[in-house]
């Protein structure tokens, strides 16, 4: 019998640090990628991150441009006369999107209140 990976087992993801494991199949679902495809995807993510870091280190002017842009953006944002209203509007939009996302995730059968997803518990909403 051939022991080659045919993609018939759920992939082991082991994503690179600070990168999302997007292809997580459920218990009865294999996910979208085979083990080999996931390995190549993770490898590509790692190489892309390394290349981006090298580029940024070789071009310090980009760091200065980004800093200048963010300083200008922040000064405009925080000195706007309607700052509190803008922040409230952004918060409402975020909460609306979050509620819609939770509905979609629930319809998709995800365990949206599971213990393994601790990041959503810091909302400060009704528990």
pLDDT, one tens digit per residue, over 49-72 is 999 999 999 999 999 999 999 999
Q: So what's the pLDDT on residue 127?
A: 45
CA 5 to chain centre: 28
For the segment 88-101, what is each residue's pLDDT rounded down to a tens digit?
999 999 999 999 99
């Amino acid at each position: 019998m051939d022991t080659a990976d045919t993609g018939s087992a759920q992939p082991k993801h082991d994503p690179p640090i600070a990168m999302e494991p997007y292809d997580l199949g459920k218990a009865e679902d294999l996910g979208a990628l085979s083990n080999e495809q996931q390995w190549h995807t993770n490898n590509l993510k790692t190489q892309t991150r390394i290349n981006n870091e090298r580029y940024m280190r070789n071009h310090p002017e980009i760091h200065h441009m980004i800093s200048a842009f963010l300083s200008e953006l922040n000064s405009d944002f925080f000195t706007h006369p309607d700052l509190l209203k803008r922040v409230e509007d952004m918060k409402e939009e975020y909460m609306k999107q979050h509620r819609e996302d939770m509905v979609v995730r629930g319809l998709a059968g995800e365990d949206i209140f599971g213990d393994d997803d601790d990041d959503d518990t810091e909302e400060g909403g009704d528990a």
